Amino acid sequence: MMLFAVYVFTANISCVKHEGYYDYVNTESIYNGTAIDYFKSKAGTYDSLLFVLDMLPEYKDLIAAGDVTIFAPTNASFHLAMTNLNLVRQSQGKPSLRLNELDLVHLDTLVSKYIVQGRQTTEQMLYVDGLEVNTVKNELTMHAQRIKQDASGYVGGGLVTVYYTDKKGSEFEILWVRSATQAVNIQTNDAVVHVLANGHEFGFGEFLTRMNK
């Protein structure tokens, strides 16, 4: 059983404006192994994601089948979601929950938002309006957009930010919830991995309402 420490985060990060990566400097752009192996190799970063995938093994099979892209939430994303959930539950006189006590049906729905069809690198996200992508399960429509800022004295040479967005089934951007990436284009044997910013709260704003039953 995995226990979770309480972390307090002060920022709401449905949208993060200044996190990203400098183009083509990722020193781990190619990993000779599976995506799951890659996550396992980064102890202390993806433990919560791996734990959830063990709870929902169908997703491991979908990843192993290949030709997918994973927008990977880090431990911090799960800690933030769990902390906010338990703060609300405590204020309501309800007992705190651990990750292994969450509703599996709702957890399945939330995890599905992070694994999409096809190997989608930032090269596919260069469209002015970004790129619509479909999840491998539930056929949810998500959105990915690469935004490149100009560095001083060097046009097109600045910070690259990729926004990954839950469209919430709507064409109205005001309803969308998005997160920035902190690393992109990690190529494994069976998937492309983009790592979401630590400030991203797992669930794209749905974790609390789905899990606080």
Domain count, the chain: 1
92 occurs within a structural domain: yes
Note the pLDDT tens digit of each residue in 123-173. 888 887 899 999 999 989 999 999 875 444 444 445 667 899 999 999 999
213 occurs within a structural domain: no
210 occurs within a structural domain: no
The DSSP bridge partners found for residue 71 are 194
12 occurs within a structural domain: no
142 occurs within a structural domain: yes
User: Which of these, 55, 194, 164, 168, lies nearest to 111 by C-alpha position?
Assistant: 55
Helices and strands, number each (H, E), in the chain: 6, 8
Domain at 75, CATH number: 2.30.180.10
pTM: 0.83
Range of the domain at 176: 21-198
Note the pLDDT tens digit of each residue in 165-175. 999 999 999 99
Residue type (1 letter), 18 = H
Query: 21: Cβ–Cβ under 8 A, 6 or more apart, which residues?
Result: 159, 160, 181, 182, 183, 184
C-alpha distances (whole Å) from 186 to each of 26, 31, 104, 154, 193 are 8, 7, 29, 26, 5
83 occurs within a structural domain: yes
